[in-house]
Chains A and B, each alone.
Chain A
């Protein structure tokens, strides 16, 4: 810039430079055509101009004119270089004219400037992402520490109890706690074992301290969770909604900052980079805490003055920027650090009279210090870093690690969050001749129903098994086969009492069934009353079916969604039809936390929430920026969160997306599988999400942090399809998957 303005041609160059800028933006084809001509022009005129300027400086006016023309030529040549090709470059390279070079330099400069601002935007995006991830982590940590504290409390109480017990029994103080673990355990946990035999408490017989703790942890995970459910929920709401808002806000702020930085130029560059580095450093140090602590201490000792200065900055920050973050203070330090950066910058600008160098140094150290302090507070909170969190389960297995962790007295070690149940395939349900399209559990009994493309439904009782030879898994034989559909059965629903079940088929009918007793003889006499009615109304395949109290809602390829009250005189209550543009509905669910609302997924990749009473659209779930190319975004399944106003959709483009029902905005989107996601299920508490995909695997997700907890390869492919449905048992620890290979599997 400085050199440019210093040069004589500078004045001429500037407007032309502006023109070039515009020229660059014009489409490539036109630019290319122009530039070839321009190249010729510049060759002749530029050359002439060059010759003239060398020969006579006196002929000012003319010279300038010709030079101007030369400029134009050179300009176009420049265009060619940016937008065009090798040819143009060849055309211009032999002729170096001062204005041409200046233009080129100017070009390059503006290009760099553009790129830099792009980098700034990228950086802001990444920072927003970091903030979001940190937010999720924080939520998890607070939950974990809460549970840990609970464990500590219970452990302490247990220890006291044990000591008392010992004293009463033997009249002396217990020599070592460990020896009494087993008996107490038995006493303490007997009730649990009795009430819930599904949970593997069999390790009670083993008498090590570690297992005792393991058991406590399980106990807490099963029982303590329900006490904590409110905390969990609020955390989740924040993590899903609050955090996202925050991240967006953060991102836009960062973007703005980046834009500003790009606009004002070089001066801001160094603080930006500093900020970047310190952020990076922060994330690095978070991985390893003890070093961070040491660094913190050393810094404490050495740079007391700087600390004071930084503290001043920090206070300033608290006064101005932190204020609006207060309501989401849970969401954290990262926001604070982000603000810190900008804040330090601002402070710097304000004190522009000072020596830049020391200022820089101070800011740099200060930022680091701030980050370290953040870390420190985190540690005091008793939280672990992400890296450690990932290894938490491993840590739990070893006593040493556990003890080391618990020594810090903050209780910041293994906790409820560390307890993870691993699901294993236990039952294989084989009896269908073709793909199993849908399955559903009985709300209470260990009973399920499968619906298949072989036109039948089958009833299974998991307690009636046949030991398969040479295998740990059990085969189950079906108890009853429901026959009424004249084509593949596609979807299932079950009443909340578990007495009635409904099935929708390719034939367009919805059949109603009274469930036979789960202890029926498979070869009993045919009872025509099991089939208790047919809901006729759809004129094409019924693809989605779901129940709520006594009502069912169904969606069909005929484009309609129908609400039924089966066993009414007039079972069809209402029909909902969307505009043609939405296409056929593919899936439907009741909005669980809002009475009289249903959410329907359409082929257009939109979801629409209807009010069942008025039949009006309440909200459309669509993401404007994402819908530009929604050809592959086809929704295979939509489910409503059982307690939160959140809708979850499974997409053909391998994503699972989370939507806020009240605003209709996209809350979270993640690539969940290697192939289209076909099915979703949320457990009754709303903590876990199960997804199935044509990649043959089912995945279990923690809804708090949207991480995959377990992946199980469950089924084989038939044509390009694999898994059609997944399900949670509402009250028992069962999950199940149904596949195109004609099998259903139950995991415990």
Chain B
């Protein structure tokens, strides 16, 4: 049935699929995706094809609502950041990293609590990701996540910036305190690279906050650490 002929390709991960075959199906052009999750599908398809081709992944198709494009990308970032959090959990403990820091310049306070708290780094990481998951799935700010994800209120788009700022600190903490983990993760996913490109391209964060050294001007090449 599957791939029997071009017109009836069924993009399904059936139980029993080997992990190397997971989501391994011919690309579907965005125009042909009739799903309400088309943008997510499209982005994931590009990442699956080549995670290092950041330029292509971030190039927005024509006639695409920019708010939705940014929103879907941020969802994807938060989702993939789970992978970094899993790795950090093994090494980053409240006893070694008592505070969320990158350079010694700032101590980041965890915004997940009623009054911002000085959480240990691992708690900060988890709380920030959990909070981002709640916000990005919130029916209040992003009701479009249930009804077709095709348009987003302008007021909600501004929320994306603060999510970006917070989750970026996870990258920076990993880079400055758990460099081995960061490098391994980055070599696999190019996530920080893509994220830096993303926030620069859509002006979601100021340049001085982007403290992990990644050359944005460099065209789709991985940062220095992966060279």
A residues near B, CB below 8 A? 428, 430-434, 454-456, 468-469, 471, 475, 477-478, 481, 483-488, 490, 506-508, 522-523, 525-526, 528, 540-541, 543-544, 555, 557, 583-587, 603, 631-632, 634, 636-637, 652, 676, 694, 716-721, 740-743
Contact = CB atoms under 8 A, between A and B. Distances in A.
A693 B37 CA distance: 18
B41 A637 contact: no
A428 B139 CA distance: 10
A433 B136 contact: yes
A16 B41 CA distance: 68
Contact of A721 (B11, B36, B136, B138): B11
Given A454-B79, A741-B37, A488 B140 contact: no
B126 A526 contact: yes
Contacts of A585: 16
B214 interface: no
Question: Interface centre among A544, A585, A717, by most B CB within 10 Å?
Answer: A717
A477 B134 contact: yes
B135 to A, nearest CB: 10
A713 to B, nearest CB: 13
Nearest to A694: B12
Is chain A's binding surface mostly helix, strand, loop or mixed?
Answer: loop
10 contacts: A430-B139, A431-B133, A484-B89, A487-B19, A540-B18, A541-B18, A583-B16, A716-B36, A717-B37, A719-B11
Interface stretch (B50-58, B80-88, B159-167, B175-183): B80-88
Contacts of B40: 434, 718
A449 B14 CA distance: 22
A520 to B, nearest CB: 12
Contacts of B11: 719-721
B79 A455 contact: yes
A586 to B, nearest CB: 4
Contact of A528 (B13, B16, B89, B136): B89
Contact of B83 (A431, A455, A583, A584): A455
A452 to B, nearest CB: 9
A506 B22 contact: yes
B19, B76, B134, B140, most chain A CB atoms within 10 A:
B19
Contact of B140 (A456, A469, A717, A720): A469
B129 interface: yes
Contacts of A718: 35, 37, 40-41
B86 A525 contact: no
B133 A481 contact: yes
B123 A525 contact: yes
A555, A587, A718, A740 interface centre (most CB from chain B within 10 Å) = A718
B79 A469 contact: no
Contacts, number: 140
B17 A557 contact: yes
B3 interface: no
The 5 A-B pairs of least Cβ separation, nearest first, read A433-B79, A719-B11, A586-B16, A586-B15, A584-B16
Interface of B: 1, 10-19, 22, 25, 28, 35-37, 40-41, 75-76, 78-79, 82-83, 85-86, 89, 93-94, 110, 112-113, 119-120, 122-123, 126-127, 129-131, 133-134, 136-140, 145-146
Given A455-B79, A557-B18, A716-B35, A485 B1 contact: no
A74 B130 CA distance: 86
From B10, B78, B119, residue with most partner A Cβ within 10 Å: B10
Contact of B130 (A481, A484, A544, A742): A481
A500 to B, nearest CB: 19
A722 to B, nearest CB: 10
Contacts of A471: 139
B78 to A, nearest CB: 6
A291 B34 CA distance: 54
Contacts of A522: 130
A523 B16 contact: no
A522 B128 CA distance: 11
Contacts of A508: 19
A592 to B, nearest CB: 20
A456 B35 contact: no
Contacts of A525: 94, 119-120, 123
B35 A637 contact: no
A523 B130 contact: yes
A542 B146 CA distance: 30
Nearest to A742: B137
Contacts of A603: 16
A523 B19 CA distance: 33
A543 B15 contact: yes
Contacts of B37: 716-718, 740-741
B19 A719 contact: no
A652 B89 CA distance: 39
